[in-house]
Amino acid sequence: MKTAALCACLAAPLCLASPALAQSSLGFTQAEARVGAVSVDGDSHANANLSIDFAITGHHGLQFDLGLTDQATGALGSIDGHLYMVPGPGRKYGLFGHLADLDGVDATTLAMGAESMVDLGRATRAEAKAGIGVRNPGSFDFIFAQGALDHALSDRLGIYAAGMVAEYDEPGFSATGYEARIGARWYLSAAPVVIDAAVGRSGLWGEDSLRAETVVRLSVSLTLGADRSARAPAERQMFRSVAPLAPLQLRGLE
């Protein structure tokens, strides 16, 4: 019930906001409102995300991501900012910043780094990002990298492989977190809606290791202004959200 309520509350304002954004004269290019759920060995939690992209010059843009996740330790809110450059067709590069805060707990995460997205052909696209960060209190330092490879089977169906790895280091805790998954995205022809389903494994290596667990993700997105095709080029795609502490959050450790 809690999961369903969170999805309903978040979906309504995100969807209602889209028509207003479409009429913006401030360089708005596209937006995506997404609601979904993540299941870790049968324990499910809801999440929602709103991503908005603006063109600030002919070759530069700003993307903002707002996220809210219901997890075992409380509601986790996040804000990402991406400042990027599009030097030519099929390429975009940039810098990102990430801020996340856990409701009801003194726990704030800050991260920053660089990212890129490149077309490897008409149907294949690669995305990568890497950065450093800190979680307070305790000055919990980490470095991380995320990557994905997307391939369009048709205009309406795409598949992908994605993963991340992060090195966590603080007094009393040392581990390398990871997640790897494969998924598919279905672009509906009758509406600006995308359905995303993925399955993968996540765990911790090292001194404070934990066994890998199965992670299942399912989401539905409403898009505005975006190319409604799995073959859209890199310059028309938005960067994926930043998730440096995902292996810890999936297990209720953050």
* Confidence at residue 26, expressed as pLDDT on a 0 to 100 scale: 55
Angle at 55 between CA 57 and CA 24, to 5 degrees: 125
What confidence category does residue 210 fall into, taking pLDDT thresholds of 50, 70 and 90? confident
Mean pLDDT of 186-210: 93
Residue 54, exposed/middle/buried by CB under 10 A (0-12, 13-18, 19+)?
Answer: middle
Mean pLDDT of 135-164: 94
Mean pLDDT of 3-18: 45
Task: Single out the residue of 93, 98, 184 nearest to residue 133, CA to CA.
Answer: 98
Mean pLDDT of 101-110: 88
* Confidence at residue 115, expressed as pLDDT on a 0 to 100 scale: 99
Mean pLDDT of 104-128: 95
Concatenating the DSSP letter of every residue in the chain gives -HHHHHHHHHHHHHHHHHHHHHT--SSEEEEEEEEEEEEETTEEEEEEEEEEEEESSSSEEEEEEEEEEEETTEEEEEEEEEEEEEEETTEEEEEEEEEEEETTSS-EEEEEEEEEEEESSSSEEEEEEEEEEEEETTTEEEEEEEEEEEEESSSSEEEEEEEEEEEEEETTEEEEEEEEEEEEEEE-SSSSEEEEEEEEEEEEESTT-EEEEEEEEEEEEEEESS--STT--GGGSPPPPP-TTHHHHTTT--
List, for residues 163-184, the tens digit of each pLDDT value: 999 999 887 788 999 999 999 9
What confidence category does residue 15 fall into, taking pLDDT thresholds of 50, 70 and 90? very low
Q: What domains are defined for the chain?
A: 2-249 (2.40.160.40)
